[in-house]
Amino acid sequence: MIQFFFENIDSIEITAQTSEWLEKLVIAENKKLGKINYIFVTDEGLLKVNQDFLNHDYYTDIITFDYVKGKTISADIFVSLPRISENALEHSKDFESELRRVLAHGLLHLCGYKDKTEDEQNEMTGKEDLYLNLF
């Protein structure tokens, strides 16, 4: 089950097509869908999560709390909507496609993909592109 929540920020429309696409991503990665909560917040809200839980003092677009058990994917995924808007402008993308990229990115982490090294980043970007093209 994939659910979307908005904390201290105006809500945006998340279509059924987006939910179905995210579910297909999990299945395509040979995983089982558990409970995924996307929590949309402000930049300041995500900074506080980063500080309180990860001891990091910087802004980011997404933080994933992994509750994966075996092949069952479950998590709380915090997403900064203002950061998505900023990233979209910076990369000359529209908001919706940047949002989908970030939503997929969080799920790909849960499927085992990393992005710390250049090779890992290239693999992650390739997977993001693959799934974005399937939307």
In the block, tokens 């659910």 appear at: 3
Note whether 65 and 26 are within 8 A (CB): no
**Cα 66 to chain center, whole Å?**
12
Binding site, residues? Answer: 105, 109, 115
Three-class DSSP labels, 37-80: EEEEECHHHHHHHHHHHHCCCCCCCEEEEECCECCEEEEEEEEE
Known binding residues for Zn(2+) are 105, 109, 115
The CA–CA distances, whole Å, from 14 to 18, 82, 100 equal: 7, 16, 10
What number of other Cβ atoms are within 10 A of residue 51's Cβ? 12
